[in-house]
Every structure is written in C-alpha cells, then in structure tokens.
Amino acid sequence: MTESLEERQPHADTVHDVHELAVLDRIFPLLPVADSQLLGPGDDAAVLAAPDGRFVVTTDMMVHGPDFRLAWSQPHDLGWKAAASNLADVAAMGARPTGLVVAIAATPDTPVSMLEGISAGLRDACALLAPGCGVVGGDMSVSDTLTLAVTAFGDLEGRPPVLRSGARVGDVVALAGNAGVAAAGLRLLFDEGVDVSGNPDPVAAAAVRAREPRLVGAQLAPTPPISSGVDAAVAGATAMLDVSDGLALDAARIARASGVCVDLHRSTLGEDVESALRGGEDHALLATFGPDATLPAGFRVIGSVRAGTGVSLDGEAVGGVLGWDPYVGWDGRTG
Amino acid sequence: MTESLEERQPHADTVHDVHELAVLDRIFPLLPVADSQLLGPGDDAAVLAAPDGRFVVTTDMMVHGPDFRLAWSQPHDLGWKAAASNLADVAAMGARPTGLVVAIAATPDTPVSMLEGISAGLRDACALLAPGCGVVGGDMSVSDTLTLAVTAFGDLEGRPPVLRSGARVGDVVALAGNAGVAAAGLRLLFDEGVDVSGNPDPVAAAAVRAREPRLVGAQLAPTPPISSGVDAAVAGATAMLDVSDGLALDAARIARASGVCVDLHRSTLGEDVESALRGGEDHALLATFGPDATLPAGFRVIGSVRAGTGVSLDGEAVGGVLGWDPYVGWDGRTG
C-alpha cells in the first residue's frame, strides 16, 4: 500500500503535497554513505562501526531565526553548516568523524527542492571536510519552524579523547582556522544583506556575498579544519575545543576546566582584535600543546597557558560578555 | 567570566532570563547517567562504550503542534515520550539501549521548570524502560516552536541486528505491547480534552486523563516493552520493528522489505479492530519468528507470514491509507 501513497503526487513541489516516503526517496540518493556504515537508513535504526569499542557523539540544532535566515542562507549552506559545525565538535575531541544522523522539521510549504539542497550541502560538507563520513539515518518532521538537528559520531582510533581540562601552565595555545571571520561576515549581512526597512533580503545578501565571498561564506558555509583535530591529538594536544561562541568565551572554557589562565597574544589576532576575540561560528580548533610539542600543520601559536584563571590578552584580563547566548541573544526575528 | 553570567539571574523563571549555562546547571543533575558513558556532558562531545565494535543509532524529533499539545502533555510526559519512542526504535533492532543525546529548542518564554520537567521525564523513562541507559549529551537552542530531538544508541551484544527484511513464509507474527490504545487515548483528548470551542484545554485534558488513565496515558506517556526487543532477538526473531505509525502500515513495511504477505488474525486484535490496525504511537514491537520458535514472554501471536505482498486480515487485503503521515496529516494547529 505504501507504493500507492508514494506515487500519489510524485511531481508536487512542497512537503505538504508529497508523501514523507517520497520525500525520503528523493533525498536518500543525495546523501553520502559512510565508510563505517554497517546498516544504513531504512530500518528502525542504523548500525555503525566503532572499531576501538568506543564512539564520540555530539549533537547540535540549527533553528530558523536565531541560527539562520532564509533570505541569507541557501539550502546548500544550511546542510553544509549543520554538518560542518557538528563535525568540528567531533574533531575537537581528536576524533575522526564517521557518521551523522539528521532530523529535519520543515514547514508544510517547504519546497522539496529545499530539502534536496540541504541534503546536497550535507553531502558536500562530508566529502570536503571529512571524507568517509556519511549520513547513516534521520527523521523527517513537520513544524512551524524549519529546524535541523544533527548528531555526529567519531572514531578515536585508540587514542584518549582530548578534553578541555588538560591544559597545563607552560603550554602553548594554538589555533587552526579562522577567528572573527564568520562574525565579520554576519555583520556585513546585517548591514548590507537587508532591504531599506532593514529586513533580510535575498538579492542584497547575494550581492554582498559576491563582493565579500570569504567573509560571508565563512558565516554561511564555514570550512572548519576538521582533519586538524586528529592531527592535534596525534601531536599530543593537551586540551582542545571547537571555537563556536567566540575565542574569548571558548578559551575561558579551557581555562576554567583546566584551572589555568589562557593568555592570548594580541599581535596574533589580526587587525580586528575585538572580532577575533568575540566573534563566534568560525568553528576553528583551539588547542594547547606542551612546550616541546611540534605543532601540526594548520595550527599557529596565539598564546600561552599561565597560572591563574580566565582569559587575558597580553596579560590583561578580558572582561565583558564573552560571546553569544542563544536564550538572551535572539531578538525573535526570522527572515 | 562565565560564573558571573551564570549568577546574573539565578532565580529567573524563563529561559530568556536565565543564561544557557545556568539552564544546563539546573538540568544536568536531573539527567540519568548511562552505564556505558565513558565521558559525559561538558566537553565538545561525549564518549560512549560500544563493546562489540558496533552501535545502533536512531533519531526522532518531537515538535509542538504535530506531535504534541502543551494543553495535554505535561513536561514530564514530553521527556518521557521522547525517550520512549527512541528507545523503542533501538529495541526493535534487538539491541539494548545504552544512551541518548537530547537537543531541545525552547521558546524564549519557556519556564525553566518546563525544561526541568522534561528532564525528569527523560530520567524516569530511562529508569523504568531501559535501566542503565542515560543521557550522555545534548544541546539547548531557542526557537519559535518547542522541539525535542532525541538520538538513541544501543548495544547489539554481539548479535546481528533484527531487520525488517527477514520474515519468511510460514513464520508466526507476534506483538509485544499495545495496538490502538494510544490512538484511543488521542481520540479521547480530541473529543473531551478541549474547551467549548474545540481548542485543547488543560483542565478538560486532566479530567479525561483521570477518568481514562490507561488510554490517555498510552498516548501521552507510552510504555513500550523495551526489554522485549533483546528477548526477541535472543529467541531468534526473523524480523522486527517498532509500531509507531499503526499496525497495518508497519506490518506492510515488514511485508515489503521481506517480500511476503503479513496476514493478521482479526480475533487477536480486540474489539476495536480499526483502532488496532490504524492507530499509531503505541510503540509496540511487531516481530516474526520461525514456526518452531518459543515466543519470549510478552509476545502474543497475532498473525502469520504468507506468500504474497502487503497486509491482509484473515486473508482479506487491508486497504486505504494505512497510517499517519506528518507532512499531510498535520492541520497546522498547536495548542
């Protein structure tokens, strides 16, 4: 009987008009298959390999409004960013990403082509950032608010996970990836990706993205250095995390967990130090290494670990609100 | 610096007024710790044991509107049902549930007490339905639509997963758990859990739940027979799935995947055969066993596997729309 349902409206345009199974039939072929997949989508659950008897798991939700605007992000961007941000959390443990499960709640008027675009973004992010990683399962729901929930898995390949709590006085602080670039892109979108009334506008956003592809692209489709996570672990990183909420706030998390002070060097943070310190969503990897470690390619020294607490900049404490808080920061707009 | 943020509004009532970290500090102590947890919440990702080198994974989203009404479900119910429905998918593979990750997107005006209630529901469902399973990680977001996304993991304990595709002609069809009870509860809520205008009403819902606790409870806080999943696998189940969309539709999935006809016996389906066939959300386990297998406790024979296709009732094909489709079925109301 399910066949007749699937065939009812094969060419309709929105998820409301197309049966769930037909949506899945259009999406599945787009999704990357994970090398570690032992059983893929189509049963009650998937089965994934965990060769060393453990697996790393993280989950992150992207919500229309606080996390993205449809006037700014292409569907491909949404899938890409949902994958990239979760892959970065796996990488930050020193693990190799192996698989994703993806739950999408779409409004009834969502074009199926948007879900296909999201799927292509998931595929391309896996292929570029974490080859071998794929989508092993998912869920499709309907909602008043477009929402993507991704859960990502990783293989520690026999190594201990790299925690936030391992930084020691005397370690060097190093960064792989951008600091403040995604935030600069977001500022451009808020300033110029809008119409005369200040509302997010797709034409204006496309124009600013064409003019500043690096900055706007860093916000809408970030390319975190996923493979650097394993490299850092192999090189003996003592602590590591994914910089999602801003360098200052995330460095404070290492400082707090490790019982140390993270001192950042102003000269390493570029011209716009404020953006570098407080801008989130770059998904760079912030790590500490023993003083004698050889930093893996892609990491640059941006500070040192000292006795004390919190975060300092050339020895001076960094204060103020340190980063984005979803509950306090969202103004309720969507667009 | 994070301490000062956490302490800013320690007694405020809504998630908008309380910093994310403070919300997490209030929720984490409520959540159950998984026996398989090697590293829990607090880093970029958790680490979970997968003793036989594989793990089962499933994900399912619950959305305000199509999946629940806040006038009917208590916060405890929401957490309970989100856990139970995912645990059932793990059990349907013949696996023992080991852990959950939970992403919650709440509206800014959500009372923190609601998140505490959801957490208590997650805890109690794990404790009663799958002892040893716990919450190993999560994510908190803000949204216009209250949304829970749960991903659940399981341990196959060295056994092959029980697929939908293994039913063979001559097998018996057996069910553990309810069929149609949750649907009967939902009908009661739509009929009597409403005010004079037909809108969901908490006082009316509480009254009908007090009068019909088994039916309404089956809808709002189902108790699927989770441990029966492992029992079925050990007893040699040839196919199995979680009945979430209705017995007829889910039996058709086994029939299609296995290339057989699933014939159900009307006499086993109780007085309300229509509800038993088409009512979803009971999260019973539907399994097939070889003719000589000894059924584990909790399973009762409800049919047999025949040559052919689709689902029949005492040999007569079952037609019509077989179950719930989220994209077509939701009327857009919340309440």
Name the token pair of A279.
């801008």
CATH class of B172-177+224-325: alpha beta
Decide if A44 and B58 are in contact by the 8 Å CB cutoff.
Answer: yes
Cβ atoms < 10 Å from Cβ of B267: 9
Q: Which of A150, A138, A152, A124 is nearest to A36 (CA)?
A: A152
Angle in degrees, 0-180, between the axes of helices B213-220 and B181-192, rounded to the nearest 10? 100
Residue B211 C-alpha, separation from nearest chain A C-alpha, in angstroms? 31
Binary contact (B66, A143; C-beta < 8 A): yes
Residues of chain B contacting A248 with CB distance shorter than 8 Å:
1
Q: B174-184 pLDDT, tens per residue?
A: 999 999 999 99
Q: Output the tens digit of pLDDT for each of chain A's 335 residues.
A: 333 334 444 445 888 777 777 787 788 889 999 999 999 988 999 999 999 999 999 999 999 999 999 999 999 999 999 999 999 999 999 999 999 999 999 999 999 999 999 999 999 999 999 999 999 999 999 999 999 999 999 999 999 999 999 999 999 999 999 999 999 999 999 999 999 999 999 999 999 999 999 999 999 999 999 999 999 999 999 999 999 989 999 999 999 999 999 999 999 999 889 889 998 889 999 999 999 999 999 999 999 999 999 999 999 999 765 555 666 667 778 88
Chain B residues touching A102 at Cβ < 8 A: 59
CB contact under 8 Å between A57 and B153, yes or no, is: yes
CATH number belonging to domain B2-155: 3.30.1330.10
Instruction: Report the C-alpha dihedral over residues A41, A44, A50, A51, rounded to 10 degrees.
Output: -80
ipTM here: 0.92
Nearest CA of chain B to the CA of A138: how many Å?
6
A245 is known to lie in a ligand binding site: yes
Q: How many CB atoms lie within 10 A of CB B279?
A: 28
Nearest-Cα distance to chain B for A211, in Å, is: 31
DSSP single-letter state for residue A252: H
pLDDT tens string, chain B, 335 residues long: the values are 333 334 444 445 888 777 777 787 788 888 999 999 999 988 999 999 999 999 999 999 999 999 999 999 999 999 999 999 999 999 999 999 999 999 999 999 999 999 999 999 999 999 999 999 999 999 999 999 999 999 999 999 999 999 999 999 999 999 999 999 999 999 999 999 999 999 999 999 999 999 999 999 999 999 999 999 999 999 999 999 999 989 999 999 999 999 999 999 999 999 889 889 998 889 999 999 999 999 999 999 999 999 999 999 999 999 765 555 666 667 778 88
Per-residue pLDDT of B233-266, as tens digits, reads 999 999 999 999 899 999 999 999 999 999 999 9
Q: Are A86 and A150 in contact (CB under 8 A)?
A: yes
Task: Determine the residue of chain B that is closest to A155 in CA distance.
Answer: B47
- Which SS3 state, helix, strand or coil, does residue A259 take? coil
Residue contact B45–A141, C-beta within 8 A:
no
Strands B96-106 and B134-142: parallel
- Residue among A42, A2, A6, A4 at smallest CA distance from A22: A6
B101 contacts A44? CB cut-off 8 A: no
Angle formed by the axes of helices B202-211 and B181-192, nearest 10° = 140
Nearest to A161 among B39, B52, B138 (CB): B39
B330 annotated among ligand-binding-site residues: no
Using the structure block, give the residue that is written with the tokens 């939700």. Answer: A61
CB contact under 8 A, A141 and B318: no
A257 touches A302 (CB < 8 A): no
Q: Could you give the CA distance from residue B22 to residue B19 in angstroms, rounded to a whole number?
A: 5
Residue with tokens 């997650």: B122
Q: What angle do CA A149, A100, B83 make, to 5 degrees?
A: 55
Angle at B115 between CA B111 and CA B121, to 5 degrees: 140
Give me the residues paired with residue A176 across strands. Answer: A285, A299
The answer to whether B50 contacts A47, with C-beta atoms less than 8 Å apart, is: no
The answer to whether B67 is a known ligand-binding residue is: yes
Asked whether the beta carbons of residue B102 and residue A59 sit closer than 8 angstroms, the reply is yes
Shortest distance, CA B21 to any CA of chain A (angstroms): 9
* Chain A residues near residue B249 by CB distance under 8 angstroms: 1-2
By C-alpha distance, the chain A residue nearest B9 is A328
Nearest to A99 by CA among A128, A129, A126, A139: A126
CATH number of the structural domain A172-177+224-323: 3.90.650.10
Question: Which CA distances in Å does A123 have to A30, A48, A118, A130?
Answer: 7, 18, 9, 10
Pair A217, A209: CB distance under 8 Å? yes
In this structure, which amino acid lies at residue A225?
P
Tell me if B77 is assigned to a ligand binding site.
Answer: no
Question: Which of A90, A143, A250 is the best mutation test for B, with the most CBs of B within 10 A?
Answer: A143
Q: Where are the domains of chain B?
A: 2-155, 172-177+224-325, 185-217
Contact list, B45 vs chain A (CB under 8 Å): 56-58, 89-90, 92-93, 95, 152, 154, 161
Residues in B touching A1 (Cβ below 8 Å)? 248-249, 252, 310-311, 318-320, 322
Q: Nearest by CB to A59, which of B49, B138, B325?
A: B138
Run of H or E including A61: strand A54-63
* Distance from the Cα of residue B40 to its chain's centroid: 23
Q: Is B14 annotated as a binding residue?
A: no
